[in-house]
Structure 1
Amino acid sequence: MRIALFTDIYLDIPGGIPSSIKAQKSALQKLGHKITIFCPGDQINNTEKDLYIVPTHRLLRPNQAPLAKRPKRILQSIKKEYSVFSDYFDLVHVHYEASCSIAGVKLAKEYKLKLIQTMHGREDIAINTNLSAPTKYLVARLLNIMHSISLGRLSSKTERLPRKDRFLIKNSVCQNMWQLMVRQANLADAVISPSAHFAKNLKQYGVKKPIHVISNGVDDSYLQNLGFSVRSFKPNEHLRIIWNSRLSKEKRILPFLQSVASSKHKDRIDLTIIGDGNQMQEAKNFAKSHLQSSQIKFLGIVPHEQIFNFMQNQHISVINSYGFDTQGMTILEAVACGLPVLYADPAMDEVVPEHGGLRSSNDSVAAMTDAIDQLFAHPTIIEEMSKNVIKAKGSVLQSTQISKLLELYLK
């Protein structure tokens, strides 16, 4: 098949969406399919093959991410290269909801190509958490209006959009972002959710198109030359914890560091922090004031294929987000390495293998501190969890998940 993947988040951005797209691309190409990724970015620094850089703003880079120009400009550019889009592609798979992704939707509709939409994340939480009032109310409203206008007559074909409630849509920020997400999903022929709990939420808030739960996957090639054994934590050791996520408010890096600093055993905890984000400096400042410099290493952005090297000698991986992640690539990557998971969100029970992780009792700093201290009180838990995680290792590899994706493509 000839597949066009559209996404607004790919180049220069570490995280779950880019890594899942790369893994899908690699697995599909190994099976002989032709993949082209359409995304914003810097053409000069691009070394990846089978990539089409859409018109991108030079100076506007929210959170250091490349920002695509208006869908109209993107469509004009693509049509110069692919005059009749359907002569080059059999299917369009869209991974986001902003300008580049909107262009993908419009091309699929114009040329009557099958359209698959993956709904990756809770954009309502991202806006609500990272922007202050009143800015977040204005931004969410503008994004929703621009999304509707950009889709033009197509947007009128979506079902009734969700209103505020007492569950997930508690304010107008959430309402606007959920309306945007539902509008985007209902234009597809089929929708992919990486988890069952997010699929349930999408359906509850008005997504009428068929929703298929297909997990993201870890690129097999990243692990082929690495060996991972069952982890064990000896009573005289320092506990080695790895953080492999953005350093941002929605990922809750500061509450996690506060939990470590509050632990009775904080002098026996070694942290490796991989990632960057809008709270990097705050995290460093907190660590400098409350933790010893020998305890914590901030590595910044690490090439994705190298992250697994750092996981080889860790005891446990941590993901501290709550209500934000629809799945959590951090969890899948830990499982692929036989690494237990320390986490806070009950929704992640679906993703963490049974008895393969330790969840705090709630989302408070104190609860996470208690969970950390449990590992010191019962060090054999690490080995027990690691054994269970290793049993599930194969399930998180992209080679396992790709057959489900292909089956949906060919339906």
Structure 2
Amino acid sequence: MKIGIVCPYSWDVPGGVQFHIRDLAEHLIRLGHQVSVLAPADDDTPLPPFVVSAGRAVPVPYNGSVARLNFGFISAARVRRWLHEGTFDVIHIHEPTSPSLGLLSCWAAQGPIVATFHTSNPRSRAMIAAYPILQPALEKISARIAVSEYARRTLVEHLGGDAVVIPNGVDVGFFERAEPKAEWQSRSAAAADGSDGGVIGFVGRIDEPRKGLPVLMKALPAILAARPGVRLLVAGRGDEEEAVSGLPKEMRANVEFLGMVSDEDKARLLRSVDLYIAPNTGGESFGIVLVEAMSAGAPVLASDLDAFAQVLDQGGAGELFANEDAGALAAAAIRLLGDPARRAELRRRGSAHVRRFDWSTVGADILSVYETVTDGTSSVAADDRPGLRARFGLARS
């Protein structure tokens, strides 16, 4: 099958959507399909052989963050050329309502179109206001996928229609096979008793408040008061000095910034820590880093966002704390760092739960949607695929 995938966000600044698209493309290529990904990218950005650049993106405030998007007449011409040269059997557009390549491709594409909706934003006035403009494009979509129940609800409430829920995928084996890194482990890791305090990890953009690092920093003094040897490893780009500016100076040595890390080092980090903390405060429709952490065998403590609770099986595969409550975060982290048996239980539960997110399952579900629309079916509604809802525990609301 010849598959064209449209990425709305710049390949230069990796994020959850870009990682999902990259991994999906690589999975499909391994299965023998021909795949081309169209994405914004600067001229000097190293690109995989299956990615075609649609030109430089510009930063635009979008969904509580700043996204790098690509729009305009030149972009539209590049979209049309890519579609014409690709002669794809199916076009898979991610975020077709974003003011970027997704919407341009939806306007220009002919034939079967599959759209994946990633955004979870229950009060998007902009999306409601833009509906008359979006409607002609949305009517061309043959099948809709939402990455979570919360992304589906955003779609239903703002744009109408429905979608099948297929979560983001992860290569579970890649994280399972990663080797822990000695300098990132507890000094007492061999005994797993955390007697030196323990190591906690955070992965995310430092400068983006909704990723929650300020909440974790606010909780850190209480954690260090109870367990003075705790180390916090932070992987991600941003202003490191600003991030620790609120900490007492004597505590700043307990925070180690790793900067941007490779996929391999991210996996090694998640394999090394005693506890992974996801203090995100909002705007999350899924939570791929939670899936990656569970795949690596890291016990997870996360804010109780609806999407995070869903990924963590409502607390069965990882523990939850009240969103933006630094005191609750500190109390839970102190308790877990002092309880190796509970952490071992979370590892077992997480490792079992995460199998449903492996690409062997997620990729097969996406291919099933492709095959349905290319066989001539005009639409795929969520009700037509009840097995997916049952498999991921997602009930209709």
Structure 2 length-normalised TM: 0.79
Opposite residue 215 of structure 1, the aligned amino acid is P
The 3 A distance-change label for structure 1 pair 95 and 287 is farther
Is the CA contact (8 Å cut-off) linking 1:117 and 1:191 kept in structure 2?
Answer: yes
Aligned partners of 1:231 and 1:362: how far apart in 2?
33
Q: Which aligned segments of 4 or more residues in structure 1 are displaced greater than 6 angstroms? A: none
Is the CA contact (8 Å cut-off) linking 1:94 and 1:118 kept in structure 2?
Answer: yes
Aligned partners of 2:310 and 2:30: how far apart in 1?
29
Q: Which of 333, 350, 362 is the matching residue for 1:389?
A: 350
Q: Which of 309, 327, 334 is the matching residue for 2:293?
A: 334
The 3 A distance-change label for structure 1 pair 306 and 284 is same
The 3 A distance-change label for structure 1 pair 119 and 11 is same
* C-alpha displacement of 1:287: 4.7
Is the CA contact (8 Å cut-off) linking 1:238 and 1:268 kept in structure 2?
Answer: yes
Q: What is the match of residue 369 of structure 1? A: 330
Q: Which of 185, 209, 212 is the matching residue for 2:164?
A: 212
* Count of residues in Structure 1 that have an aligned counterpart in Structure 2: 351
Q: Is it true that 1:252 corresponds to 2:212 in the alignment?
A: yes
Q: Which of 277, 299, 321 is the matching residue for 1:360?
A: 321
Opposite residue 99 of structure 1, the aligned amino acid is S
Q: What is the match of residue 70 of structure 2? A: 68
* C-alpha displacement of 1:197: 3.2
Aligned partners of 2:245 and 2:2: how far apart in 1?
49
Opposite residue 166 of structure 2, the aligned amino acid is I
* C-alpha displacement of 1:239: 2.0
Report the more deviating stretch, 13-22 or 41-50.
41-50
* C-alpha displacement of 1:61: 4.6
Is the CA contact (8 Å cut-off) linking 2:317 and 2:353 kept in structure 1?
Answer: no
The 3 A distance-change label for structure 1 pair 324 and 195 is same
The 3 A distance-change label for structure 1 pair 339 and 224 is closer
Is the CA contact (8 Å cut-off) linking 1:323 and 1:345 kept in structure 2?
Answer: no
CA RMSD of aligned residues (A): 2.9
Aligned partners of 2:312 and 2:283: how far apart in 1?
16
Aligned partners of 2:131 and 2:304: how far apart in 1?
22
The 3 A distance-change label for structure 1 pair 91 and 232 is farther
Q: What is the match of residue 176 of structure 1? A: 126
SS state at 1:198 partner? helix
Structure 1 length-normalised TM: 0.77
Q: What is the match of residue 144 of structure 2? A: 191
Q: What is the match of residue 40 of structure 2? A: 40
Aligned partners of 1:259 and 1:361: how far apart in 2?
13
Q: Which of 101, 107, 112 is the matching residue for 1:114?
A: 112
Q: What is the match of residue 95 of structure 1? A: 94
Q: Is it true that 1:398 corresponds to 2:397 in the alignment?
A: no
* C-alpha displacement of 1:117: 1.6
The 3 A distance-change label for structure 1 pair 298 and 189 is same
Q: Which of 199, 209, 222 is the matching residue for 1:240?
A: 199
Q: Is it true that 1:300 corresponds to 2:259 in the alignment?
A: yes
Q: What is the match of residue 226 of structure 1? A: 178
The 3 A distance-change label for structure 1 pair 390 and 231 is farther
Aligned partners of 1:287 and 1:237: how far apart in 2?
21
* C-alpha displacement of 1:67: 4.1
SS state at 1:12 partner? coil
Q: What is the match of residue 25 of structure 2? A: 25
* C-alpha displacement of 1:118: 1.4
* C-alpha displacement of 1:351: 0.3
Opposite residue 229 of structure 2, the aligned amino acid is R
SS state at 1:286 partner? coil
Aligned partners of 2:248 and 2:103: how far apart in 1?
43
Aligned partners of 1:61 and 1:325: how far apart in 2?
19
* C-alpha displacement of 1:189: 2.4
Q: What is the match of residue 129 of structure 1? A: none
Q: What is the match of residue 381 of structure 2? A: none
Q: Is it true that 1:8 corresponds to 2:8 in the alignment?
A: yes
Q: Give the alignment of 1:43-62 within 5 angstroms.
A: 43-56=43-56, 60-61=58-59
**Structure 2 residues without counterparts, runs of 5 or longer:** 181-188, 373-397
Q: Which of 302, 309, 332 is the matching residue for 1:349?
A: 309
Q: Give the alignment of 1:91-170 within 5 angstroms.
A: 91-96=90-95, 97-108=98-109, 111=110, 113-122=111-120, 168-169=122-123
Per-residue Cα deviation, 1:156-188 (whole angstroms, up to 9, x for no partner)? xxxxxxxxxxxx42xxxx311455589478443
Aligned partners of 2:179 and 2:131: how far apart in 1?
40
**Structure 1 residues without counterparts, runs of 5 or longer:** 125-167
Opposite residue 119 of structure 1, the aligned amino acid is F
